[in-house]
Amino acid sequence: MKQRCVALLGRRDEPTDAVEEYCQYLGSALEPQGVSFELERFPWCELGWRKAFAEMDRKAGLWKNDWILIQYTALAWSRRAFPCLF
């Protein structure tokens, strides 16, 4: 059975998203090690905080015993990633 890891990403950066690209490379490297690596967006900017948290709460129920990686860039913490502390 593969270990599952979910990379939780914030708002997409335009025109390119280096954090997402990095996660895709990381997923490719982890696959041969038996790790299923999935990307998941936390759409707080599009849905608003309340709906985004409700959606994430629903999805998080499926993540028991999985690794969750909060992905962000320090330079864009509040504008593009997660404007809260973890």
- Taking CA atoms, 86 is separated from 9, 15, 30, 82, in Å, by 13, 27, 24, 9
Question: pLDDT at position 83, please?
Answer: 57
Q: What is the pTM of this model?
A: 0.76
- pLDDT per position in the chain (86 positions), as tens? 689 999 998 878 778 788 889 999 999 999 999 999 999 988 888 888 899 889 989 988 888 889 998 887 666 555 555 555 55
> Scanning the structure block, which residue is given the tokens 């041969």?
32
pLDDT at 76: 54
Q: Is 26 helix (H, G, I), strand (E, B) or coil?
A: helix
Predicted pLDDT of residue 2: 84
Which residues, other chains included, contact 18 with Cβ-Cβ below 8 Å and sequence gap of 6+? 73
Domains of the chain from N-terminus onward = 3-80 (3.40.50)
DSSP letter at 74 equals G
Quote the pLDDT of residue 24. 94
Q: How distant, in Å, are the alpha carbons of 4, 23, 62, 82 from that of 79?
A: 28, 19, 28, 8
